[in-house]
Each structure stands twice: as structure tokens, then as C-alpha cells.
Structure 1
């Protein structure tokens, strides 16, 4: 690159930074011609915005209902699980008590056989 070309490029960069963006005047294509005159694509009317807001509110309500159902189901499952655990613990306690009683009976019988007859 020659020094002259380098200087021109530097001036272009400086101008670009100074103006921010390039604006074109004349017979070029403008956004309305390119996208059409309908600005509804970009800026919905009040009623369209209300429809979108209502749709979003409906979606949120459905999601909240679904989450509520899931929470209720999880609570029911947790309650069922707690009941099963309590029943299992009660069964284990019962077996433990039964084994303790059997052990005491065996100890008494063993002690009776250890005593010399009188």
C-alpha cells in the first residue's frame, strides 16, 4: 500500500467515526420501498399489541396451572412416600420388639437350666 493510499484510508476511517453511519440521498432504495409501506411488521397497532399481550397472559396462566398441578402431584407423592416409610418403620419396630421378647425368653430358659436343681 502506498503512503498516499494509506493516508486516504486513514481519512476515510476518521470520517466514518465522525459521522457514525453513512446516509444516502438520491434515488436509492429506501426502507419503505424495500419492506413495503406497512409498518405493522415492526410496530404493531394497539389492538394487535393487546392480542399479543392477552396470548402471553393466557400462556402464563396455562403454565401456572400446569406448575400447580405438578406441585400438587409431588406433594401427594411425598405424602404417600412418608406413609410408606412410617409403615415400614412400624413393621421394623414390631419385628425388633418381637425379637427382643424372644431373646428375653431364651435368656430366662438358659438361666433356668444353669441353676442347679434344689
Structure 2
């Protein structure tokens, strides 16, 4: 069996500025990754823009339960938000614990979660 290798023309496209929705900023001393636009889209499309900012991601010693009696929310929207936040964790490691905790409740999400 013979392999037919095609010659590929390689081109220098310049400095990388965006890759898979991740904004890349490069200078002489470092490279930084951001997902500012993606995070804003999550807030807008997930209808989260009406909430106030907080200094901490989760309440200290917060106890969430699967047997919550709070009002249920749209599970499709909840799952979409959690999936989007999982991708955002690539550049925001500080979100990892909070996203992991709320992802446990995707089967029957409530307002509490």
C-alpha cells in the first residue's frame, strides 16, 4: 500500500489573536488567555444579566441538596449554562469549584442551585 503525501504550502499568518473563542494576547514577556466576549455572551443568552456581582463565587459552607423544595427552573437552560461555564473554566480556574458543585444538580435544577 503506497501513501500519497501532498505537499502543503505553509504560511505565516502572523501573531495568534483568537483560537476556539479564546482571546490570545502576546507581548515580549508573556502570553495571556481571556474569554471576555464568551463570558458576556453566557450572561446575555442565559438571562443572567439581571443579577448583581458578588465578591465570592459561593457562600461559605453552602449546603446544596438534590431534594431541594425550591421552585424548579428550566433544565435545558440550566444545562446549557453549566456546559458553557465548563468551557469558560479553561481560562478562569477560579470558577472550577463553583461550576463543579452546581453541575451535580443538572438532573433536577431548582432556583437554589
TM-score interval, normalised by the smaller of the two chains:
under 0.3
Which is bigger in relative contact order (C-alpha 8 A, separation at least 6)?
Answer: 2
Greater helix share, 1 or 2? 1
Q: Which has the larger radius of gyration?
A: 1
Greater strand share, 1 or 2? 2
